Structures are given as structure tokens and as C-alpha cells.
A = this chain, B = another copy of it.
Amino acid sequence: MKIEDEIKQKPFKDAYSKAMVNLLYTNSYLVTGQSRLFKPFGLSPEQYNVLRILRGQHPDPITVSSIQDRMLNKMSNASRLVEKLKQKEMVQRKECAEDRRQVDITITAKGLDTLSQLENEVRKFNKDYIHLSEEEVDQLNNLLDKLRG
């Protein structure tokens, strides 16, 4: 449905303002779905994302600031998300020997197991929830990469 109808608003003044609203609205649509998907596993979307980052390094550790760099939301707070995941025993924290300011984070077996349980479900969700053809989704990816400049 056209975004103007979904949020019952008058036509936009220009296509850029429309795109801004359209992107924010679509994000909300996606995050709402993701939240429901992850909920049975006791994870929020951002916690899931941090786990994926850690799995990408496994079995190597990664510091808190490197996690922050790779997070989808640059203004988020890796430190507190890691703490939440530690409480769920999905990550380990260890002081870094070479630089004691840093903290090495590693995903645990429980974390890896949770991710693998979610894997197929997530892929199916992504495909089903994004109502675009293969060609269209490629187009969208290209436009988004360009958008950010």
C-alpha cells in the first residue's frame, strides 16, 4: 500500500521527504516482525545482531568497541548489550592481556546454539516478510548503498 494511505496523510511535498518517511515506516514494519520472531528465544533484535557479529569472529574474541563499530546502530551501547547477553550466558567477557582497557568478548556454545536454532527461521522470515522479487531486492540493496553516500 502507498505510504500516504497507510499513515493517512496528504501527498508529500517532494519525493525525498516521502522517502524519509517511507524508510522510517518500513523500518518499523521490519523491527516489529523481528521482535516477534526473536521473542521466544529471549532476544531483542539488537541482541541478535550482536550475537551474529560475535559468531562472525568465533572462535576469536572481539573487543567491545569493535562490536560497536559493526553494529547496525552506531549510537547504541555495545557495553550494555553485552552485559545483557552475559546474563543469558550467551557470551563471555575477559580482560584483554595486551591492553587492559579493552575487554575481549566471545560467543559461548549456548549463544552459538541459539543462533543455529534461529537460522532457518530467520532466513524464511526475511524472505517472506520482504514482498519483493529477487531482482527487486537487488535493486533495493543498490539504492540503499547509494543513498548513504
Q: Which residues from chain A sit less than 8 Å from chain B, CB to CB?
A: 1-3, 6-10, 13-32, 34, 45, 53, 56, 69-75, 122-123, 126-127, 130-132, 134, 136-141, 143-149
Once the chains bind, are B16 and A74 in contact (CB under 8 Å)?
no
Residues in B with CB closer than 8 Å to A28 are: 72-75
Task: Name the one of B16, B31, B145 contacting A24, with C-beta atoms under 8 angstroms.
Answer: B31
CA distance A138 to B15 in the complex (A): 6
Cβ contacts A to B, 9 pairs, < 8 Å: A1-B145, A3-B141, A10-B56, A14-B126, A19-B130, A19-B140, A22-B140, A130-B147, A131-B149
Given A28-B75, A32-B74, A70-B7, A146–B136 Cβ distance below 8 Å? yes
A139 to B132, CA, bound (A): 13
- Note all chain B residues with C-beta closer than 8 A to A140: 19, 22, 140, 143-144, 147
